[in-house]
């Protein structure tokens, strides 16, 4: 696997208007990227600093036409961060869960698949480059607070593994990122230590430049990743115990 360099890269970030996507966009500028395509469903929500290297793009990753337009607007891209994601559901009861789960899968899995399909040929034309999928520890071991979100991220993890093999022939390196709790809207109400989005973005860049296929960009993720790589079943039990402890604390 070829380790990409951030300095001089021409990057595209989906979901660039908030959270990890915004931190990635700003961090790319700081670390010397020559151009950053910042993609969001509503470009007016992009809040990056003024910089001539930023190119705003309108992109809903579930819209094939918008993806084709984004690909046409970014023909020189060498580094893609497939980051756009959504979480809607924290339970399994009721009819609403099915529509919420479909939406999560549509954005978190099918959206990432569309990004791969449209942008991988550009990476090939530009020398191979790199594709980075922003997954979650929840995609390795289901987090019952977010059961269907976790399932969508598990699908993304599987897709990342396939892409790593299939895109190797065109010289594209594929990286999976598996954060733990990060200080974003999604986990605001969870009583867990949370990493800052800025620190997570910098750890992602460090992992890319070190050639790490699987990047665990915060302390919680690193500890959990070691446990998962040693014993997936033990990780499942660890999560179950954590959920039980938090539920007990809430009831007290």
- CATH value at residue 134: 3.40.50.720
Residue 188 included in any domain: yes
Residue 135 lies in a domain: yes
Range(s) of the domain holding residue 50: 10-223
Has residue 245 been placed in a domain? no
Please confirm, yes or no, whether 149 is among the known catalytic residues: yes
What's this model's pTM, rounded to 2 decimal places?
Answer: 0.91
First-residue to last-residue Cα distance in the chain: 50
Of the listed ranges 40-54, 120-134, 143-157, the one predicted with least confidence: 40-54
In degrees, to the nearest 5, what angle opens at C-alpha 62 toward C-alphas 169 and 190?
A: 100
Are 192 and 243 spatial neighbours (Cβ–Cβ below 8 Å)? no
- Indicate whether 81 belongs to any domain: yes
In a domain, 239, yes or no: no
Contacts of 39 (CB under 8 A, 6+ apart): 12, 13, 14, 15, 16, 56, 57, 58, 59, 70, 84
Rounded mean pLDDT of 2-22?
A: 95
Please indicate, yes or no, if residue 43 is contained in any of the structural domains.
yes
**Mean residue pLDDT across the chain:** 91
In a domain, 16, yes or no: yes
Residue 2 lies in a domain: no
Q: What is the rounded CA–CA span in Å between residue 111 and residue 168?
A: 21
Which of 37, 109, 149, 178 is catalytic? The answer is 149
Backbone angles phi, psi at 75, to 5 degrees: -70, -15
Banded pLDDT at 22 (limits 50, 70, 90): very high
- Report the number of distinct structural domains present in the chain: 1
47 pLDDT more than 70? no
């Amino acid at each position: 696997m070829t380790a990409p360099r951030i300095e001089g890269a021409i990057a595209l970030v989906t979901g660039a208007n908030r959270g990890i996507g915004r931190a990635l966009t700003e961090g790319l500028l700081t670390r010397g990227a020559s151009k950053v395509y910042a993609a969001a469903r509503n470009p007016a929500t992009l809040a990056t600093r003024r910089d001539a290297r930023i190119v705003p793009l309108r992109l809903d990753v579930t819209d094939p036409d918008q993806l084709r337009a984004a690909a046409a607007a970014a023909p020189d891209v060498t580094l893609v961060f497939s980051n756009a994601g959504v979480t809607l559901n924290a339970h399994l009861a009721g009819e609403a869960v099915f529509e919420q789960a479909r939406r999560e899968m549509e954005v978190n899995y099918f959206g990432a698949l569309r990004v791969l399909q449209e942008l991988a040929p550009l990476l090939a034309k530009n020398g191979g480059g790199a594709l980075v999928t922003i997954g979650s520890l929840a995609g390795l071991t289901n987090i019952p607070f977010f059961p269907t979100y976790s399932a969508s991220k598990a699908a993304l993890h599987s897709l990342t593994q396939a892409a790593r093999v299939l895109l190797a022939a065109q010289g594209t390196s594929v990286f999976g990122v598996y954060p733990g709790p990060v200080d974003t809207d999604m986990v605001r109400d969870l009583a867990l230590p949370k990493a800052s989005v800025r620190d997570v973005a910098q750890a992602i860049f460090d992992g890319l430049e070190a050639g790490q296929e699987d990047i665990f960009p915060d302390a919680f993720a690193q500890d959990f990743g070691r446990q998962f790589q040693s014993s997936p079943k033990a990780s499942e039990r660890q999560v179950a115990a954590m959920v039980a402890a938090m539920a007990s604390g809430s009831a007290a």
